[in-house]
Structure 1
Amino acid sequence: MKYFNHKLIGLAMMGIAVMACTDEYDCNLQIEKPEEVANSEYLASFDLLKSYINRDASSPFKFTANMSSTDFIKKEIGYSTILNNFDGIDIGGSFTPVSSLKEDGSYDFGGMQLVTDAAKEAGVTLYGGTLCSNQGQRAAYYNELIQPIIIPFVPEKGKTVICDFENDELGTAYGMTGGSQAVVENDPDGKSGKTLHVGTDDNKAAYSHPKFNVKLPEGRKLGDYVNLTIDMRIVNSDGIYGAGMRVFINGQEFNVGTNAQGLGCNPNTWNRGAIISLNSAKAPGFILPDELKGLTEFELAVGSASGGAQYFLDNIVMNYELPGTGITKIDFSKDALGTSYPMTNGNQAVIEDNPEGSGKVLHVGTAATPCSYSYPKFTVKLQNGRTLGDYTGLSLDMYLIDGKGGWGSGMRVVINGQEFNSGQGPFGFGCESNKWGRDKIYITFLKEGETAGGGKIAIPNSMKDLTEIELAVGSGSGEWHAYIDNVCLHWKADDTIIEKTPEEKKNLFTEELNKWIGGIVNAGGETVKVWNIIGEPLDKSVDSNTFNWGEYLGDVEYARTAVKLARDTAKVDLNLFISNTFNQQDEMDQKADEMVALVKSWEADNVTKIDGYNIVLHAVYSKDATVQKRNEEMITALFDKLAQTGKSVRVSDLSMMVENVDGNFIQTSKLTADERTAAANYMAFIMKEYRKAITSDKQYGISISSMTETSTGNKVCPWTSGYNRNGMYEGIVEGLK
C-alpha cells in the first residue's frame, strides 16, 4: 500500500522567508505536509469504487453494500454514495417475519415495495434478503397454531330418586329407627301428590327417623354421590329445632350440623330441595367415611332429631358426580400389629402403633440397622377404570427417627422394579426430625421426556397403561429410619386432548410459509431477482424467535417447499441462494462441506434447483502471524471448495476486524496506520482469492457489510462516519481490480 508525503523544496523561497523574519516575530515554515493531509489527498486521487471492477458484459458480478431499506429511501448521503460507488444494495435483514408483523397478525410488505420502487427508479440492483430461515420467525405464534384442542374434563352428573312415594299405596308404612310411625299420605297442601307423614299429633317421633332400603343403579356406588336432597314440611313447629337434622347409613349416625330451621324449614310450609352434603363438614353436611363409599346397597334414614317431631317428607334424592380426581390409598389401618412388608434391599418394615397418637403406621428399619437404599414394597390395584397414566403423583406422611435419611440422595419411587429418583430428600420436602411430616412429601409424576428432579419423576410411556403395580417408596439414603403412613397415589381424570396430525401440521405450516414467501417475493416484483432461499441452515442456536421448519415440513422437504413457493410466486426467473454465516474462527472448509451436502440432498429430487452459495463472511486480520497465515489458508480453501460445486458464489456482509496477539478486537479509533494497512491488504487478498478461484461466469458479486465505521466499533470500513475515505478504500480498490 502506498501513502505519499509530498515535500515542498524551495531554497530560494526559504531564504526569502527567513529574511522576512524579525526579532518581534518568530516565523516557522512547515516544509512537509501532515501525514493525515497527505493520506487524504492520496485517497482522494482514487476514482469511484465501481470504476475499478474488471468484468465483461456477460458477467453476473455485482458490487454492493449493506444498507437498511429505510436509509436508502431517505436518499441522503449514503444513497448518493451507493449510486456513485456500487452496483446496488443488499437490504439483508431489513425484512423478517418478526419485523414485518402487523398487529392483526398479517404481514406488512409496504416497506419492501417502497425500497423496490426506489431501487428501480435509481437503476441499481436490489438483493432482497432471506425467504426461509429457522431464525427470526414468529415462533410463539407458530407454536400456538399447533396447540392441541383441549376439551376439559366434565364430570358425569345425575340423580338417583330414593323415594317420591308416588307408586306407594296410601297408608303404606315405612319402618322407623325408633318409635312412632311413617305413613304415605296425600300432600296436605294438595299439590304434590303423595308424601310420607312422619309422626302424628298424638304420637310424635322422638329421635326416630324413617328408614329406606336403597339399591343404587348398576355402576354406581355411594362414594359417587355428593349430596342428599329432600322436600320437608314441618307440622306447626314439631321438631323444627331439637338436636338437629340427622342422616343414618346402615345405622351409622351423622349430624349435619343444623336443625330443620337451619335447613330452611318454616312451620306448615314446604321447603323444597333442601341439600345435605355428603363430602363437606360445613353445615348442612357431613364427611362420608371411606369405608362406606363402596356401598351399592344400604339402609338410609333421615329426619329431625327431636323429642317431639312431626313432619312430611317427599322427593328424597341422591345426586352423584363422578370425581375428576381421587386417590388410591395405603394407610395400614386394617393391618394387624406386627404385619411385615417386604423390602427392596433387605432390612424390615413392620406395622406398629403410631408413636404420637392413635392408629397404625409402618416402622421402616431399626435404630441398630437403619435401611440402606431399601424401601418397603406394596402391591397396588389402581382405581377401577384408571391406569398409571392417569396418576399425577405420590404422597406420604413420614416421621424421621432422629433425622435418619432426612437428606440422602433423594426420595425414591420404585415401580415394578424400575427405580426413579425424585432428586429431593425428606428434609427438602419440609420434614423434620422426630416429628410427623404430614402432607409434606408429594412426588409429582411427569410424562416421559419431561425434566425430572426437584421432587418430580418421569413415568415412562411403557408404564402408562398399567392397572396394577408393585410400588416401593423411601429415602435414598444409607441410613434411613422412619415411620410412614398414608401412602397415596393421586389420580386426575384426563382432559380430552385432540392433537393435530403430522399431515395437518405440515399443511398448516406450508400455508404459513407461503404467506411470507409469496408476499415478500410479490412485493419485490420484477426488480428483485436474487434471494437467499434458505438462510443460516447450519445455525443451531435457539432463542424465542427460532422455529424449526424441518420438524414439520421435513428435514429435506422444507427447503424444496420454499424453493417451489418462491419460483411459483415470482414474475421473473429467480436466482436462489443458500446463505450461511462464516466467521473467521470457524472451520470454513468443513462448513462449506455441510452446505454442499445440504444442497445435494435438496436437489436429489431432480426438480429443486439451488442456483448458488451466499457466504456471509466476517473476516478478522490477526496480528499473530501464525494465526493470520491460517486465516488466509482457510479463505483460499473455502473459495476453492465452493468453486468445485460449479454453482454461483456470492460474498455478502463482508466485514473486516483487527485482533491483537491475545485474540481481542481493537477498536477502530485505536488502530495504527500499519494495522489499518494490514486490514486493507487482507480485504484485498480475500476479494482477489474470490475472483481467482471462482470462474467469472459464477462470480455473483461481493457486498460489504458497512460503508462507514464508528470510533467505538470494530469494523474497519472504507469511509469514516463523515464519509471521508479510509485506508480500507484502497484495499477494496485493489480487490476489485
Structure 2
Amino acid sequence: MKYFNHKIIGIAMMCATVMACTDKYDCNLQVEKPEEVANSEYLASFDLLKSYITRDASSPFKFTANLSSTDFLKKDIAYSTILSNFDGIDIGGSITPVNSLKEDGSFDFGGMQLVADAVKGTDITLYGGTLCSNQGQRTAYYNELIQPIIIPFVPEKGKTVICDFENDELGKAYGMTGGSQAVVENDPDGKSGKALHVGTDDNKAAYSHPKFNVKLPEGRKLGDYVNLTIDMRIVNEDGIYGAGMRVFINGKEFNVGMNAKTFGCNPNTWNRGAVISLNSATAPGFILPDEMKGLTEFELAVGSASGGAQYFLDNIVMNYELPGTGVTKIDFEKDELGTSYPMTNGNSSVVENDPEGSGKVLHVGTAATPSNRSYPKFNIKLPNGKTLADYIALSLDMHLIDGKGKYGSGMKVVINGVELDSQKGPNGFGCPDNAWARDAIYIKFVKKSEKEDGDGCIVIPENLKSLTEFELAVGSGSGEWHAYIDNINLHWKADDTIIEKTPEEKKNIFTEEMNKWIGGIVNAGGESVKVWNIVGEPLDKTMDANTFNWGEYLGEVEYARTAVKQARDTAKIDLNLFVSNTFNQSDEMGQKADELIALVKSWEADDVTRIDGYNILLHAVYSKDATSQKANEKMISELFDKLAQTGKLIRVSDLSMMVEDTEGKFIQTSKLTADERSAAANYIAFIMKEYRKTIASDKQYGISISSMTETSTGNKICPWTSGYNRNGMYEGIVEGLK
C-alpha cells in the first residue's frame, strides 16, 4: 500500500534586476508541496469507497456504516457521504427499548418509521438493529410487572360496652373505691338518657372512683384492647383539676397524665368520647402491664383524682384491635396428673404439679434415668385458617433439675420427625439450675439466608410450611436432660397477604412485553428493513440497571425461539435474522466464537427455529508490540475460519480500529504518527481481506464500519476527519474492499 509522504527539499529565491529605463521583476519560487497538502491530494485521487467493491450480481455483500436515524434524517453531509460511499446504514444503536420508551410505558417507533420511509425509492439498505437482548432494557418497568399482589393486613376492630346505664334503674348505686356515692340518674341536659352521677354537692368524691365489674366477650382478653373511651361532664368545676384522671384495674392505679380540664372537660358540658390509651405512655394513656393482658374478667374504675370531685359518666367503652399476633399453647393445666406424653427416643415425660406451685407442668426424665436426646411429643392442630407458615417462633418455660441438660448440642425442634437444630442450648438462653426460666427460651423461625450458627433459630423446610396438623417435639439435645417444662407456645403473626405471580404468569407477561417491542419495531421498519439482529449480545455477562434476563422467565433456550417466531410472524416480508455479539481484540475470539455457535445450535435444535447468520461487532486493535500484533492477526483468521464453517451468512459490523503502544495503552488519534496511522490502515485492510478470502462469497453479508469521522480526543481511527476530509484509514478500507 502506498502512503504518500513528501518533504520540502528546496528554498524560495527571488532575484530582482533593475534595468535602465524600465523596472523589471522576475520571480522564480520553487517548493515541494507541504506533506499535509500532498497527502490530501493523494487521498483525493481515490474513488468513492463502494466503487472498489468486487461482487457479482448474486452477492449479498453490502458495505455500510453506523449512523443514527436522526443524523440520517437531517440530510446533511453525513447523509450525502453515506449515499456516495456506502450501500446502507446501521441505525440499531440509536433505537433501543430504553430510549424509545414513552412516559405511559408504551414505545415510540416514530424514529424507525421515519427512516424506513426515507429510504424508500433509494438504493440504501437499512439495517434495523437488535430485537431481543438482555442489555439496554427498561428493567425497572419489567420488574414492576411481576411484583406480588400485597393485600395489607387489616386488624379486626370492635368495641365492648362496659356501661351505658340505659338498662339500669334510676337510683341504682355503683360501688366506689373510697367514699361518696355513684348513682344512676337522668342526663342533666335531658338528651342522652341515663348517666352515672359521681359525688354530690354535699358529699364530693375525694380520691374515690366508681367501680365496674367487667367480663369480656368470649375470645377477648384485656390485651386485645387499645383504648378506653368515656363521656364525662364535670359539675361546675368540681374535680376539674386535682391530681388528674385515673384508671384502676383490679385495684392497680394508672395515671393517664392529664387532669379533667386538659382531658377536654369544661364545667357543666359533656366531653363526649374522650380517649384513654391502654398501650401508650403519651397522655392521656398508660402502658398495660403484660401480666394483665390475659385478663378476661376484672374490676375497672375510672374518674378524676380530686379531693372534691363531682361529675357524670356515660358510655364507658373499651375498643379492641387485634394486633395480628397470637399463640397456640400447650400448658398441661387441663391434663390429669400422671398423664404421660410419648418421647422421640424413649424415657418418660409425665404431668405433675410444679414443685414451686405454678400449676401443672411436664416432668421430663428422672433423676435415675435422664432423657438421652429424647423429647416429648405433642399433636398440634392449628386454628382454622392458620398454617405453619404463619408461625414465627416457639417458646417455652424450663426448670432444669440440678442443671441436667443445660449444655449439650442445643435445643431441638422436631416436626413430623424432621429434626431442626437451633444450635443454642438452655444455658445459652439463660436457664439457671433448679429454678424456672420463664419466657427465656425463644426459638425464632427464620429464612435460610438469615440463619447463623448458634443464633437459636431454626429454618422451617418449605414442604412443612403448609401443615395445619402435625406432631411437634421439643427439648434439649443432651445425653442427660432432666427438667420441668411448661407453656410451650407457638407464636403466629398475621402479616400482609402476599400473592406471588406463578412462573407461568411471569412467562406470559414477558412474552407479551417482548412482542410489544419486536412486533412494534419490525412493523415500523416495514419492507424497508429486511435484516435484524434477532438476539444481541447473548454472551455479555454485564449486570447493570438496564440488564434484564429474558431466559430467566421464558426459558434459557426458549426465549430466543420465541423472539424468532415473533419477528417472522410480524414481518410481511422474508427476514434475515442474525445473532449478534461484540468481539473485542482482547477477547479469546476463537473460544468466544465456539460459545456463540453452540448457543445458536441449541436454539435451532427444535428444527423449527432458524438463525440466518452471525453478525460480529468487531473492535480491532493494532498493537505496536510485534508479538501481540501477530497474535491479533492469528485470532482474526481463526475467528473467520470458525464462522465460515457454520455455513451461515456472516456479517462484520461496528468495525473499529485503535492503536495501542507496547505497554498496551491506547494512543489518542491526535497523537498518532503517520507510520502508526499507516500500520492501522494496513491492519484494517488485512481484516477485510481475511473476511473476503475466508468466508464463501455467497455467505459474505457485508461489512459495516463503526464511525465515519474521528475526533481528536478519541482513540478510534476513522476514514474521515471531523470535517469530512479523508485520512489514511480511507486508503486502508479501499485496499480491504478491492
TM range (shorter): 0.7 to 0.9
Between the aligned partners of 1:658 and 1:222, the Cα distance in structure 2 is 81
Q: CA deviation at 1:190?
A: 4.4
Q: CA deviation at 1:97?
A: 1.2
User: After superposition, what is the alpha-carbon deviation per residue over 1:186-232, rounded to whole angstroms, capped at 9, x for unaligned?
Assistant: 44554434433444556554433322221222332212212212233
Deviation sequence 1:265-291 (CA, Å, 0-9, x none): 445544332322223334433332222
Which position in structure 2 is the counterpart of 1:149? 149
- Cα distance, 1:218–1:31 mapped onto 2, change above 3 Å: same
Unaligned runs of 5+ in 1: 328-383, 393-412, 421-443, 472-489
CA shift for structure 1 position 551: 1.9
Q: Distance in 2 between matches of 1:215 and 1:167?
A: 17
User: Per the alignment, do residues 179 and 620 of structure 1 end up closer, same or farther by CA in structure 2, a change over 3 Å counting?
Assistant: same
Change (3 A) 1:470 1:320: farther
Identity %: 82
Whole-Å Cα distance in 1 between the matches of residues 280 and 4 of structure 2?
A: 98
Match of 1:546 in 2: 547
Q: Give the structure 2 partner of residue 318 of structure 1.
A: 318
SS state at 1:133 partner: coil
Q: Which amino acid aligns with 1:103?
A: E
Pairwise CA distance, 1:89:
1.1
2:273 maps to: 273
- Letter of the aligned partner of 1:731 in structure 2? G
Distance change (3 Å), C-alpha of 1:493 and 1:119: same
Task: Quote the Cα distance in structure 2 between the aligned partners of 1:672 and 1:325.
Answer: 78
User: Which residue of structure 1 lines up, in the alignment, with residue 111 of structure 2?
Assistant: 111
Partner of 2:359: none
Q: How many Å apart are 1:573 and its aligned residue?
A: 0.7
The answer for the alignment partner of 1:518 in structure 2 is 519
Partner-residue secondary structure (3-state), 1:529: strand
The Cα of 1:653 is off from its aligned counterpart by 0.7
Q: Residues 175 and 181 of structure 1 are in contact (CA less than 8 Å); yes or no, is this contact kept in structure 2?
A: yes
- CA 1:470–1:105 in 2, change beyond 3 Å: closer, same or farther? farther
Q: 1:418 to 1:56 in 2, by over 3 A?
A: farther
What letter is aligned with 2:320?
Y
C-alpha distance in 1 between matches for 2:7 and 2:286: 110
Q: Give distance in 2, aligned partners of 1:143 and 1:323.
A: 32
- Asked if structure 1 preserves the Cα contact closer than 8 Å seen for 2:593 and 2:639, the reply is yes
Distance 1:258 1:677, change over 3 A: closer
Output the CA distance in 1 between the equivalents of 2:37 and 2:234.
114
Question: Does the 8 Å CA contact 2:451/2:459 hold for their aligned counterparts?
Answer: no
2:89 maps to a residue whose letter is I
Q: 2:683 matched to which residue of 1?
A: 682
- How far residue 42 of structure 1 moved from its aligned partner, in angstroms, is 3.3
Cα offset, 1:79, TM superposition: 1.8
Match status 1:638 vs 2:639: yes
Aligned AA (1:571)? K
Distance (whole Å) between structure 2 residues aligned to residue 575 and residue 281 of structure 1: 74
Which residue of structure 1 aligns with residue 217 of structure 2?
Answer: 217
**Correspondence for 2:135:** 135
1:73-97, CA deviations, whole angstroms, 9 ceiling, x for partnerless residues? Answer: 2222222221122111111301011
Aligned to 1:654: 655
After superposition, the C-alpha distances for 1:335-355 in whole angstroms (9 at most, x for unaligned) are xxxxxxxxxxxxxxxxxxxxx
TM-score by length of structure 2 reads 0.75
Query: Tell me, what secondary structure is at the counterpart of 2:655?
Result: strand
The answer (yes or no) to whether the contact 2:237–2:267 under 8 Å persists in 1 is yes
Change (3 A) 1:659 1:307: closer
Q: Which residue number in structure 1 is paired with residue 374 of structure 2?
A: none
Give 1:301 deviation, angstroms: 1.6
SS in 2 for 1:526: helix
The question of whether the paired residues in 2 share the 8 Å contact of 1:445 and 1:457 is answered with no
Partner residue in 2 for 1:59: 59
Larger deviation: 140-149 or 170-179? 170-179
How far is the alpha carbon of 1:645 from its aligned partner? Answer: 1.2
Tell me which residue corresponds to 2:583: 582
Q: String of CA shifts for 1:69-121, please: whole Å, max 9, x gaps.
A: 12222222222221122111111301011112233332222221221122224
Q: Given the superposition, is the C-alpha separation of residues 259 and 68 from structure 1 closer, same or farther in structure 2, using an over 3 Å criterion?
A: closer
Change in 2 beyond 3 A, CA 1:266/1:109: closer
Q: 1:152-551 to 2 correspondence within 5 Å? A: 152-200=152-200, 204-235=204-235, 237-323=237-323, 449=449, 462=461, 494-551=495-552
CA distance 1:711–1:306, shift in 2 (3 Å): closer
Paired residue for 1:629? 630
Cα shift readout 1:360-409 (whole Å, capped 9, x = no counterpart): xxxxxxxxxxxxxxxxxxxxxxxx989898779xxxxxxxxxxxxxxxxx
1:706 aligns with 2:714: no
Q: Identify if the C-alpha distance between structure 1 residues 266 and 387 changes in structure 2 by more than 3 Å, giving closer, same or farther.
A: farther
Native 8 Å contact 1:63 1:701 kept in 2: yes
**2:726 partner SS:** coil
- In 2, the alpha carbon distance for the partners of 1:187 and 1:19 equals 129
> Does the aligned pair in 2 maintain the 1:198–1:310 contact within 8 Å?
yes
**Is 1:446–1:457's contact at 8 Å kept on the other side of the alignment?**
no
> After superposition, what is the alpha-carbon deviation per residue over 1:505-531, rounded to whole angstroms, capped at 9, x for unaligned?
222222222222122111111011001
Sort the Cα spacing of 1:549 and 1:388 in 2 relative to 1 into closer, same or farther, 3 A. closer
Partner residue of 2:91? Answer: 91
- Report the residue type matching 1:86 in the other structure: F
Distance of 2:640 and 2:519 partners within structure 1: 32
After superposition, the Cα gap between the structure-2 partners of 1:469 and 1:308, relative to the gap in structure 1 and judged at 3 Å, is: farther
What is the identity, as a one-letter code, of the residue corresponding to 2:143? Answer: N
Partner secondary structure for residue 608 of structure 1: coil
Unaligned runs of 5+ residues in structure 2 are 19-23, 328-382, 394-410, 414-419, 425-443, 477-490
Q: Report what 1:69 is aligned to.
A: 69
Counterpart of 1:691? 692
Q: 1:311 to 1:72 in 2, by over 3 A?
A: closer
Mapped partners of 2:728, 2:216: distance in 1: 96
Asked if residue 715 in structure 1 is aligned to residue 716 in structure 2, the reply is: yes
Task: Report Cα offsets for 1:253-272 as digits up to 9, x if no partner.
Answer: 22333344443444554433
1:651 Cα deviation from its structure 2 partner: 0.3
Q: Which residue of 2 aligns with 1:595?
A: 596
1:5 touches 1:33 (CA, 8 Å); kept in 2? no
Structure 2: distance between partners of 1:213 and 1:278: 18
Shift of 1:624: 1.2
Per-residue deviation, 1:693: 1.7
Is residue 564 from structure 1 mapped to residue 528 from structure 2 by the alignment? Answer: no
C-alpha distance 307-715 of structure 1, shift in aligned 2 (>3 A): closer
**Number of matched pairs:** 618
In 2, Cα distance between the equivalents of 1:627 and 1:461?
57
Q: 2: distance between equivalents of 1:389 and 1:213? A: 36
| Aligned-partner Cα distance in 2 for 1:457–1:673 | 73
Deviations for 1:146-189, whole angstroms, at most 9, x for unmatched residues? 22233333332211111223334455443332344444444455
- Separation in structure 1 between the aligned mates of residue 524 and residue 279 of structure 2, nearest angstrom: 66
Partner Cα distance (1:492, 1:589) in 2:
58
Q: Which deviations, in whole Å up to 9, do the C-alpha atoms of 1:280-321 show, x marking residues without a partner?
A: 334433332222222222111223334454444332211112
Q: 1:492: how far off? A: 7.6
Q: Please, what TM-score do these two structures have when normalized by structure 1?
A: 0.75
2:110 maps to amino acid:
G
The corresponding residue for 1:736 is 737
Please give the per-residue CA displacement for 1:107-137, whole angstroms capped at 9, x wherever unaligned. Answer: 2222212211222243211111111111111
> Aligned partners of 1:55, 1:202: CA distance in 2, in Å?
122
Distance 1:450 1:93, change over 3 A: farther
- Contact in 2 for aligned 1:83/1:122 (Cα 8 Å): no
Identify the residue that residue 40 of structure 1 maps to in structure 2: 40
